[in-house]
Amino acid sequence: HALHRSTDAPENGYSGAMATLDVYNFPYLKKMEVSAAIVRVSNYQDEATKAGLNDIQAGWVIDPTTYGDSKTHFFVSWTADYYNKTGCFNLDCDGFVPVNGAPVTPGDTLEQANNQTKISFKIFKDKNDGDWWLYFGYDINNLNRVGFWPKNIFNRMVDHATRIRWAGYAQSYKGSSSPPMGNGQFPGKMSASFQNVMYVDTDGQPYPPPVWPAGLEVYASNTKCYQASIFEDNMFYYVGPGSCTS
């Protein structure tokens, strides 16, 4: 992982998050290798053990094991118990409810222009129905409804979230070198980014995180392989060439 995450949640928790993501492709990824960029909205009973995890994720992923190809796909997921007995990816189980006329369907391939494109989306708990809604678009100023996670599929996230993450992610099977993350370069102006990194209120309106150190904290699981830059102007760079052995 290479990410920025919320610090201590406010008294009323968080209602949602949004971002604009650079989208890349690694056509040589093999089965049991994954590279992704994710926005996560979560609520834990115990964050250290992940007990009672209620979690919503959305973003792009390259995952040949799941999709049968090395293309870049838009995905969503959810769970109410750390994927023990509840939850799934995309539309593989009851949970996420797609709407007609949506600009994207979970699992769709994200086509690129000049080897790169940008997607924007937001996840937020709507004050009118209490459900967690997903909006998506290729233009940050033109986001449209994709679907929603009904509030009653959760137990801890009925009212609010306690942690938000904007994260790059890479994984490989045990004993092999990990794949690249982002666009495979270390953080810099030519590397992959999360832009328009915002919280979202129950009206669906974005607002910026407080400035550091009161705002977001940076984390990287192995800085030799993956890194995230400082958070500035509501964006950060994240990437890495991989090649760590799990």
- HSE-up of 217 (CA within 13 Å, CB side)? 7
- In this prediction, residue 184 carries a pLDDT of 75
Q: Residue 216: which H helix or E strand, with range?
A: strand 216-220
Q: Which residue has the higher pLDDT, 188 or 41?
A: 41
- In this prediction, residue 14 carries a pLDDT of 96
Q: Residue 66: which H helix or E strand, with range?
A: helix 64-67
Q: For the residues 233-243, what does the mean pLDDT come to?
A: 83
Residue of 215, 214, 198, 236 whose CA lies nearest to 17: 198
- In this prediction, residue 66 carries a pLDDT of 94
- The CATH architecture that domain 2-239 belongs to is Sandwich (2.60)
Q: Assign 179 a pLDDT band (cuts: 50, 70, 90).
A: confident
Q: 64: helix, coil or strand?
A: helix
Q: Provide the percentage of residues in the chain whose pLDDT is more than 70.
A: 91
- In this prediction, residue 6 carries a pLDDT of 94
In 63-128, where do the E strands start and end?
A: 73-79, 88-89, 97-98, 117-125
pLDDT digits over 50-97, tens only? 778 999 999 999 999 999 999 999 999 999 999 999 999 999 999 999
Task: Please work out, in degrees rounded to the nearest 5, the angle formed at the alpha carbon of residue 146 by the alpha carbons of 134 and 88.
Answer: 70
Are the C-beta atoms of residues 43 and 56 closer than 8 Å to each other?
A: no
Does this model's pTM top 0.85? My answer is: yes
Structure-token pair, residue 139: 């233009």
